[in-house]
Copies of this chain bind each other. A is one copy, B any other.
């Protein structure tokens, strides 16, 4: 995605496209997996972690990223895939490997819906599996 399209996309989501935001967005695009704030900090050494934090916070509030708790100590972020503002739409299942501590997107496995009891208003969903990824399962 070139910068012009990226900027338009951010504006479309209600976010002013500053240079930091573009950098963080690109870092997320390049990441093969959901990444932590510390991961982004490493790949973008010029940015302060507080700045990255605020970009991610803003992205999360504007449905540009999903936030995942995978059981590692740190939150993981990934780009939303759908263009919809309804974050429930493009949810897929995630898998956290307890050995290599990486989180995998099972892109082809969408979160099966459930019957939410009356009264609860759902804003987002997380379906997280934990165990061993294929690589680590082979090594045990």
Contact = CB atoms under 8 A, between A and B. Distances in A.
B137 A116 contact: no
A31 B118 CA distance: 23
Size bracket of the A interface: 35 or more
A46 B106 CA distance: 45
Nearest to A107: B117
A86 to B, nearest CB: 12
Interface in A75-134: 93, 95, 98, 104, 106, 108-109, 111-134
Nearest to A116: B129
A124 B129 contact: yes
A109 B120 contact: no
B117 A106 contact: yes
Contacts of A123: 98, 130-132
A128 B126 contact: yes
Interface of A: 67, 69-71, 93, 95, 98, 104, 106, 108-109, 111-134, 137
A-B pairs with the 3 shortest C-beta distances? A119-B134, A69-B69, A123-B131
